[in-house]
Amino acid sequence: MKRLRPWFNLVVLCLLVGIAGWLVGGSKPAQAIVSIASEGTTVIPYSGTVEGAPEAVFLTGSILVRTKVVRDPDFGTPPRVLYDFDLSGVVGKGLRSGVRYSAPQGDRLIRPIAATDKVEITFPIIPNRTGGILTPRQAVATFTFSFNAKAGTFARGTVSPAVTLTDLPL
């Protein structure tokens, strides 16, 4: 019995330290403190063609872009822009087969604020077809955003009116 006592004490001590750490630390991760200077949402029309095998796909629709300008009051780093692109409004149609495509995903970027910012994103377009095997394709959207850099506010955003590209390697 005396041989087990040191192990028992060690196990009890470990449990007490673990419980105390859980109570003190809580279950949430540490959150960064930022100051939100401005937020904006805009809808930008989009159209373009993805060229390549097995066929060209014409894309059309709208892209919802949310912007958030944030400042870090603790470390004094330059303001940054958080971009959130919602591409669910973009649909496509195969020009030969008529197969419908959709862009189910979005993209998020963090960039330093500038008076003019050119952003290019690549996103998948997925065929909406049962049976047979069609692989996802890739498309590109190039945006130009304008900000009032001193005030940290969003001014306007545009996307290239038409994008023609060949398939990119996956």
pLDDT, one tens digit per residue, over 88-144 is: 999 999 999 898 999 887 889 898 888 888 888 888 888 887 665 667 888 888 888
pTM over 0.85: no
Task: Print the domain residue range for 109.
Answer: 35-165
Q: How many domains does the chain divide into?
A: 1
* Pairing state between β 35-50 and 164-165: parallel
Asked, for residue 85, whether it belongs to a domain, the answer is yes
Asked, for residue 18, whether it belongs to a domain, the answer is no
More confident residue, 155 or 33: 155
Asked, for residue 130, whether it belongs to a domain, the answer is yes
Asked, for residue 140, whether it belongs to a domain, the answer is yes
d(CA 105, CA 107): 7
- For residue 83, give both structure tokens: 């971009």
Asked, for residue 150, whether it belongs to a domain, the answer is yes
Asked, for residue 3, whether it belongs to a domain, the answer is no
Question: Quick one: pLDDT at residue 100?
Answer: 92
Closest to 104 measured CA to CA, from 84, 82, 127: 127
